Structure 1
Amino acid sequence: MTWISATGVVLRDLVPAALRREWVRSGHCPDRDLYSLFRDRVREQPTRPAVIDDEGTLTYLVLDAAVRELAARLEAAGCGPADIVGVREPAGRAAVLAELAVLAVGAVVLPVPPGSDELLDRAGVRFVIGNGRIAGAAKFRRGAGSGRPHPEAPARILVSSGSESEPKMVAYSHNAFAGGRANYLRAVHGTTSVPRDLVLVQPTSGFGSFGVPVTLCCLGGTLIVTRWFEPGAALRSISEHRPTHVFAVPTMWRRMVEHPAEVDTGGLAAIVSSGDTLPPSTLAACRERFSVPMIDIYGSSDGVNCHTTTPENGVGVPDPAVCEIRISDGEICARGPMTPLCYVAAPELDAAYRLDGGWVRSGDNGRFDDLGRLQVTGRRKRVVIRGGYTISPAEVERAIGDHPAVKEVACVPVPDTELGERLCASVTVRNGHPPSLSELTAFLAARGVATPKLPEFLVVLPELPIGRTGKVCYRTLTRLAARRCGQ
């Protein structure tokens, strides 16, 4: 299938059409557009809470009335199913309302992270919703068209975190969200019939993107969102709103477990981590504090997903209702009902990351163990090359994380004229007593870390810099380390 926007942006489905049809026949995809599914939920449960945010609660019926009003304004402005619409609203009801309104007119949603306005030009956006207003005017008007969007047409564009490189835009169809992504969330929810999802990550992130398309449109649950993450406020939300599931990245979980506020976990069925490697110390602390299973999701905005409640034994067994996974030349590759259409306005990324037959390259190395569990052995891109020796920063981070004085850690390269790169460990510490570099390297050597992998610089920070998704921003750290430690 090929879709062309009103401004000429071409989105081609790089998965063979026969595979897409097979996933529908197998029941993995509902073959419906997202707003039609949402309208089913409104008819079934009009008085159920749909959204809880800092302003209060909206029921499904009240939310849909506001959605239809905004959708009518979009259509009156000339927006239609051939448009990609930028959504520049903060997390909360405004963002939910805008996303659903775009889906209601059959257009494509592009959530715009703060400071990423360049994405609007790249995606050929004519209309932007922000502060409840519609900005932009059509050079020519297009009506809403007849009928609903094709289920394999684009519905939402995910924006990668950009923590290690520039953000990528990835186009997903209605079926990919209502099928593969919804299937993984159903598995995460387990036996919970009506989920109440507290999503602490931003809805502009790949991890946080499920809220509207899945929790609301597919599952008919309650979506609990907050504008900004703050550990004390997050714990209060758990106590007050009694979510069944809480979604956060490892940095957020570490800060929550170390916050002194009391928390009532009586409503929790499980807590969920994704977006970055979950350190064993954080996993243990979360299990102790919240007394529910921790579900660790290995995934990306590129269409890779696997999850488990025992991350100490790998990242889980792939679910064919979500995506199948194979190892190709040591690299993890995925293909299945959640596979995206293509990258947006970036043929070079399609050439680099999409393989024949619809497969997507993850950029991660991995293997399967004897029980069929996927083991991620390291990033292909996030490495430090020291004099020709390849170092995995994640491996060193895991070892440093066991040091009793270290609270958080991230390792980044520092340019070096002699060796090309050297490794810098950036840490935050407990009780204000950081280890010296020699103490830290002795600790690592005693635990079997090879000498060429030992960090040669140490930067102690009050907090690690966090990007918009709540993950550590390695780009910011790399610049900081280069300034402090570079030649």
Structure 2
Amino acid sequence: MSAAWTSTTGIAIPDLVPAKLRREWVRRGLCPGQDIHRSFTGHVDAHPDRQAVIDDAGPVTYAELDRAVSATAAGLLAAGLGRRDIIGIRMVNSRHAVAAELAVAAVGAVSLPFPAGRGSRDAVSLLRRARASGLLIDRGTGGFLGDRALPHLRAILAPEELATPAAAARPVPAVAPGDPARILVSSGSETEPKMVAYSHDAFLGGRANYVRALHADDTPMRNLVLVPLSSSFGSCGIPITVAALGATLIVQREFDPGSALRAIAEHQPTHVFGVPTMLSRLAERHPGRRPRGLHALVSSGAPMPPRAERRIRARFRTRVILVYGSTDGVNCHNAVDGRPDPAVATITIADEAGRSLPRGTEGEIHARGPMTPLSYVADHELNARYRTPGGWVRTGDHGFFDEQGVLHVTGRTRQTILRGGRTISPAEVEMCLAAHPGLAEVSCVGIPDPDLGERLCACVVPHGNHRRPDLAELTDYLRNHHELEPVKLPERLLILPTLPLGPTGKICRTTLIRLATRDSRR
């Protein structure tokens, strides 16, 4: 393990991958050995008039974005923020958010983006634990922290006010490709949001290699990213689409199916990135013809039920690429054949002692490769629990390889329900219920029970042209059509007009648990 990078406020971020492996990935060209700002300015110099960002206000060229980045960087430096600082970013999807993150890289600092929809509780937790020196926000939103004590926070700035038309010198950051560039945030199963640090090389190398593999030809990508750019899945936007690939990033302030479909028609993206719920809601309203220029819809963040995948593919008449991945550092998708790409991450199936298992044997999924993050931030316990001495990421998920080398994920062990000592996977029940012809959306959650600990509640949205199902009908369906064990059958049913979404666009299980618990007490 190499010496830990340390922030100006004393946060140490070690690289838990052996240094010789990092060097080997650079030697083989799997990582560029370059920082994000230099990669971005290389694209500016190569094609200054190409559209870099299209947001609700219109398009921005690479040359225009470069000027905004330099001006924003000058504002950061003037506020005393720069090399080795950790800077929080709480902004909605826009050109200003893009300029903000690139400006943080330009001054040699580390960005800590988190979705603007989060409440102050998570924001304070992240800023406090990361000992962030600065915070970048949308104009007019500076009061959301209240009077919370954050002793390391020296400045709160609005990049929209920094990115003036006045000329500013292009900065030259004093960073190494292996230094941390961005901290990804994930709620996972922990009580506070997890923070995972990625290097410049991990973004420009492994994570960029994953996005490149989604494209079948040499035409420039035009990526419509429906999720927040500040989310883990949304990191395929700024550091990848713009900085690594020099492509066009299309964003909207917030997700709305109608405006997203209009953006697809008007801006002709090659790829649309969204969580399954978003893509399903697009399919419900799409007229049923293939949009011009669209190569694929890319789904990640949650399992996609097969029936939903078939419906989305039929409506858009294009590929649906399913991604298995996580903030923690694993990625595999079915763009080609469902086999792990060693240019992104090598994946192995291991037993409890960390020994590799043969094909066909189920075990825990471990990953290590050019996209592997440095380490968890400010959490030695997570590093001890989920990283091995050799740098492998222990995902906590279970799966196996078939005889053709295709990865099959059988369960995400961190999302389970314990009913009377029996473990139930909500994802398994959701996948079965999603095939029911009368249901448009499904999510299953555990609700507290004084006797059994938890009971399973099915939260469903019926199709508009079907009658409302009752619990007996759904449990009979699960028993007869999917042969589920009785312990896995839902014991509560909550019917909703739509499932609530969290700030990253995923179904908000916390809200569903609250609604289902309240409903069960009536």
Is the shorter-chain TM-score for this pair beyond 0.5, marking a shared fold?
yes
1:126 pairs with 2:133: yes
Aligned residues of 1:108 and 1:154 also touching (Cα < 8 A): yes
Contact in 2 for aligned 1:163/1:474 (Cα 8 Å): no
For residues 195 and 171 of structure 1, the distance between their equivalents in structure 2, rounded to whole angstroms, comes to: 26
The one-character-per-residue Cα deviations of 1:15-66 (angstroms, maximum 9, x if unpaired) are 1111111111111100000100001000000000000010011100011011
Q: Does 1:351 align with 2:377?
A: no
Partner of 1:441: 475
CA offset at residue 482 of structure 1? 2.0
CA offsets per residue over residues 110-137 of structure 1, 9 Å max, x none? 1122323221111111111123599864
CA distance in 1, matches of 2:140, 2:484: 55
TM-superposed deviation, 1:392: 1.3
Aligned to 1:407: 440
Which residue pairs with 2:46 in the alignment?
A: 44
Aligned equivalents of 1:161, 1:177: Cα separation in 2: 21
Which residue of structure 1 lines up, in the alignment, with residue 147 of structure 2? none
Q: Give a deviation string over 1:124-154, Cα, whole Å, max 9, x none.
A: 111111235998647xxxxx99863100000
Where do 5+ consecutive residues of structure 2 fail to align? 143-152, 156-169, 352-362
Give the TM-score of the pair, scaled to structure 1.
0.94
Q: Residue 318 of structure 2 corresponds to which residue in structure 1?
A: 292
- The TM-score with structure 2 as length reference comes to 0.88
In structure 1, how many angstroms separate the alpha carbons of the residues matched to 2:501 and 2:26? Answer: 39
**Structure 1 residues 317 and 453, CA gap change in structure 2 (3 angstroms):** same
- Using the alignment, how far apart are the partners of 1:264 and 1:296 within structure 2? 19
**Corresponding residue number in structure 2 for 1:141:** none
Instruction: Determine the C-alpha separation between the residues in 2 that align with 1:17 and 1:41.
Output: 29
Q: Which residue of 2 aligns with 1:464?
A: 499
| Structure 1 residue aligned with 2:248 | 222
**Structure 1 residue aligned with 2:163:** none
Q: Render the CA deviation track for 1:219-256: whole Å, top value 9, x for unaligned.
A: 11000000110101111000000000110100001111
Q: 1:433 to 1:7 in 2, by over 3 A?
A: same
Name the CA distance, whole Å, in 2 between partners of 1:391 and 1:283: 24
Q: Which amino acid aligns with 1:464?
A: L
83, 87, 90: which one aligns with 2:89: 87
RMSD value, Cα:
2.0
Alpha-carbon distance in 2 for matches of 1:404, 1:80: 55
Unaligned runs of 5+ in 1: 139-143
1:328 alignment counterpart: 350
Aligned 8 A contact 2:48 2:62 in 1: yes
SS in 1 for 2:213: helix
Distance 1:126-1:224 versus aligned 2 partners, 3 A rule: same
Give the stretch that moved more between structures: 473-482 or 461-470: 473-482
- The alignment partner of 1:149 has SS state of coil
- SS, match of residue 68 in structure 1: helix
Alpha-carbon distance between aligned partners in 2 of 1:369 and 1:250, rounded to the nearest angstrom = 25
Amino acid aligned to 1:332: I
Q: 1:65 aligns with which of 67, 82, 105?
A: 67
**Distance in 2 (alpha carbons) for counterparts of 1:303 and 1:24:** 18
State the one-letter code of the partner of 1:11.
I
Provide the C-alpha distance between the structure 2 equivalents of 1:420 and 1:79, rounded to a whole number of angstroms.
49
Structure 1 residues 310-337: Cα deviation after superposition (integer angstroms, max 9, x where no partner): 8xxxx82111110001111211111111
Is residue 163–residue 475 contact of structure 1 (8 Å, CA) maintained in 2? Answer: no
3-state DSSP of counterpart to 2:318: coil
Equivalent residue runs for 1:164-179 within 5 Å:
166-179=192-205
CA 1:255/1:393 → structure 2, altered by over 3 Å: closer, same or farther?
Answer: same
1:272 is matched with 298
Over 3 Å counting, the alpha-carbon distance change for 1:444 and 1:164 in structure 2 is farther
- The equivalent of 2:354 in structure 1 is none
Could you say what secondary structure the match of 1:356 adopts? coil
Q: What is residue 372 of structure 1 aligned with on the other side? A: 405
The answer to whether 1:474 aligns with 2:481 is no
Letter paired with 1:322: V
SS of match in other structure, 1:237: helix
The question of 1:259 aligning with 2:285 is answered yes
Q: State the distance in 1 between where 2:171 and 2:500 align.
A: 46
Q: Tell me which amino acid in the other structure corresponds to 1:127.
A: G
Separation of aligned partners in 2, 1:197 and 1:240: 13
Matched residue type, 1:111: P
Map 1:306-345 to 2 at 5 A.
306-309=332-335, 316-329=338-351, 330-345=363-378
Measure, in 1, the Cα distance between the counterparts of 2:235 and 2:421.
39
Q: Using the TM superposition, give the Cα deviation of residue 480 of structure 1 relative to its aligned residue in structure 2, in angstroms.
A: 2.1
State the AA in 2 paired with 1:13.
Answer: D
Identity of aligned residues (%): 54
1:216 and 1:102 mapped to 2: Cα distance?
15
CA contact (8 A) 1:165 1:475 kept: no
**2:227: which partner in 1?**
201
Aligned partner letter, 1:252: M
Aligned-partner Cα distance in 1 for 2:417–2:172: 54
User: In structure 2, what is the Cα distance between the partners aligned to 1:257 and 1:134?
Assistant: 34
Which residue number in structure 2 is paired with residue 212 of structure 1? 238
8 Å contact kept, 2:261–2:286: no
Q: 1:50 to 1:263 in 2, by over 3 A?
A: farther
Cα distance in 2 for residues equivalent to 1:19 and 1:157: 21
SS for the counterpart of 1:306 is strand
Q: Which amino acid aligns with 1:282?
A: A
1:106 counterpart residue number: 108
1:380-400 Cα distance to aligned partner (Å, 9 max, x none): 121122222221111111111
Name the CA distance, whole Å, in 2 between partners of 1:260 and 1:34: 37
* Distance (Å, rounded) in 2 between the aligned partners of 1:423 and 1:486: 14
CA drift of 1:202 comes to: 0.5
CA distance in 1, matches of 2:78, 2:140: 13
Q: Residue type matched to 2:32 in 1?
A: P
SS in 1 for 2:365: strand
